[in-house]
């Protein structure tokens, strides 16, 4: 296909030869995470945060290094997770720079400068889908005690 257009190459990347497909999910070992991120993860786990994910944005964003994304089952749990993270880090001498969305508790953002924690209610997490939006980031492998994934029997189907 020497005279093929870019559009044709993108439609059949296997035959183009010069078009490389990047993997959509790259994973990092958690050893390189900052101690404050581990404290935030532990605090969120203490309040039973659901589906916690850490995304490494260092190669693709300049405003922060990491996103921590977690969910709560309802508004009260979302606020409780936020409170625990803020209190835990404040006690260790790391106050939050900015908090957004606390009153509505659909999506609480905790800005710590080099990492940002997003705590979602279930509907907001599905709607905003930050993992898809930032799919070029690297996902950090977390030990099972921090991920607390929802099993099929606990997930609610939305209609």
Would you give per-residue pLDDT tens digits along the chain (159 residues)?
A: 455 454 454 445 444 455 444 444 455 565 578 899 999 999 999 999 999 999 999 999 999 999 999 999 999 999 999 999 999 999 999 999 999 999 999 999 999 999 999 999 999 999 999 999 998 999 998 888 776 665 433 444 443
SS3 (DSSP) at 22: coil
CA gyration radius, the chain? 19
Residue spans of beta strands (DSSP E) within the chain: 26-28, 50-56, 66-71, 98-100, 107-111, 115-120, 138-140
Task: Give DSSP secondary structure letters for 30-63.
Answer: GGGS-HHHHHHHHHHHHTT-EEEEEEE-TTT-SS
pTM: 0.74
The secondary structure of residue 93, as a DSSP letter, is T
Comparing C-alpha atoms, which of 118, 112, 133 is closest to residue 60?
A: 133
């Amino acid at each position: 296909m020497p005279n093929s257009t870019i559009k044709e190459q993108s439609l059949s990347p296997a035959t183009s030869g010069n078009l490389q497909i990047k993997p959509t999910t790259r994973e990092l070992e958690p050893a390189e995470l900052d101690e404050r991120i581990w404290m935030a993860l532990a605090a969120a786990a203490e309040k039973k945060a659901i589906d916690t994910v850490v995304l490494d944005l260092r190669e693709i964003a300049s405003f922060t290094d990491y996103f921590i994304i977690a969910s709560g089952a309802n508004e009260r749990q979302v606020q409780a997770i936020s409170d625990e993270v803020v209190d835990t880090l404040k006690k260790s001498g790391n106050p939050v720079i900015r908090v957004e969305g606390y009153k509505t508790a659909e999506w609480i953002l905790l800005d710590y400068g080099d990492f940002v924690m997003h705590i979602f209610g279930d509907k907001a997490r599905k709607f905003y889908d930050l993992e898809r939006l930032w799919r070029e980031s690297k996902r950090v492998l977390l030990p099972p005690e921090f991920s607390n994934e929802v099993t099929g029997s606990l997930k609610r189907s939305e209609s």
